[in-house]
Amino acid sequence: MNFAHTLMETLGMKTLEMNRKRVVLKMPVDSRTHQPMGFLHGGASVALAESAASIGAYLNVDPETYQVFGIEINANHIKSKRSGYVKGIAVPLHIGHRTMVWEVKIVDEQDELISISRCTIGVVEKK
């Protein structure tokens, strides 16, 4: 997968682990991901969560035949953060033929929960 010239690159996301059962991405908490008051932006957390879930879904399909798209995501932001980095840890809750559901926990350097998301991914046959 090529992440150059994508939102992932813009927000400084890096892959730490990528397989069919677990995806871990790291993202800095800095000016790229802050909201105006200097805290981690909830939208940046959601972007991290959907990126991790989408990568995991992609790894569970034949990319020659199928494409995956996020169709729903929710997030509960538990704790704020001003600096350092966060990790998005995505694991599948359901791997189906047409949809997948992934849970993504976002944690800080001390593994404290910052945000938790559930992302539904649509699996679409390429035409």
C-alpha closest to that of 47 among 17, 7, 105: 7
What pLDDT, on the 0 to 100 scale, is given for residue 2? 85
Q: Give the whole-angstrom CA distance, residue 119 versus residue 76.
A: 12
Residues 121 and 99: beta-carbon distance below 8 Å: yes
Task: Tell me how crowded residue 6 is: count the other CB atoms within 10 A of its CB.
Answer: 12
Domain boundaries, the chain: 7-125
Where residue 44 falls among pLDDT bands split at 50, 70, 90?
very high
Q: State mean pLDDT over 31-43.
A: 98
CATH number of 7-125: 3.10.129.10
The region, left, alpha or beta by phi > 0 then psi within -120 to 50, assigned to residue 12 is left
Question: What SS3 state is found at 6?
Answer: coil
Q: For the chain, give the mean pLDDT.
A: 97
Where residue 65 falls among pLDDT bands split at 50, 70, 90?
very high
What tens digit of pLDDT does each residue of 51-62 get?
999 999 999 999
DSSP H or E segment with residue 55: helix 42-59
Where residue 36 falls among pLDDT bands split at 50, 70, 90?
very high
Q: What percent of the chain has pLDDT over 70?
A: 100
Where residue 112 falls among pLDDT bands split at 50, 70, 90?
very high
pLDDT for residue 5 is more than 90: yes
What pLDDT, on the 0 to 100 scale, is given for residue 127? 87
C-alpha closest to that of 68 among 46, 93, 43, 100: 100
pLDDT for residue 48 is more than 90: yes
C-alpha closest to that of 24 among 45, 67, 2, 53: 53
Residue positions annotated with a catalytic role:
50
Nearby residues of 35 by Cβ (< 8 Å), 6 or more positions away: 41, 42
Task: Tell me how crowded residue 43 is: count the other CB atoms within 10 A of its CB.
Answer: 12
